[in-house]
Amino acid sequence: MFDFIVDHYNYWTYIGLMIIGFYAMMTKRNLIKKIIGMNIFQSAIIFFFISSSVKKGVTVPILEHAHGHAAHGLEHVTHAVDAMQYANPLPHVLMLTAIVVMVATLGVALAVAIMIYRKYHTLEEDEIIMAIKRD
């Protein structure tokens, strides 16, 4: 059991980061702390997906073609490709998209927090709720 934990330390780290981020989003009353928790949670998910898609002893997925001249252009050699020899770029590409979404979400959340602060002069959730009820 101990070897399983040690061998998969990166997954336990990501789970810990997810718990920290989720805890901050659920328990903190300051909006900036909630936004930071959301960012930690999103980062942990991205790290998890990138880490889980890593394979050892593989190469980049670029196939080389034989260079030769035939009567109708380049001569292509057709043979079976062993997919296990190549890294899968799809998870990394998807996580690049997730990073863009994460940054956009962070920007919108901070912009909303600024608007709330300008209107209510606080970022504390309880005080904002009380001010909304008074209005």
Which pLDDT tens digit goes with each residue over 9-61?
899 999 999 999 999 999 999 999 999 999 999 999 999 999 888 888 888 87
Which domains are assigned to the chain?
Answer: 2-55+86-134 (1.10.287.3510)
DSSP for 74-100 reads E--------GGGB---HHHHHHHHHHH
Q: Is the pLDDT of residue 66 over 80?
A: no
Burial class (CB in 10 A: 0-12, 13-18, 19+), 83: exposed
Which pLDDT tens digit goes with each residue over 76-125?
556 677 778 888 888 889 999 999 999 999 999 999 999 999 999 999 99
d(CA 4, CA 40): 25
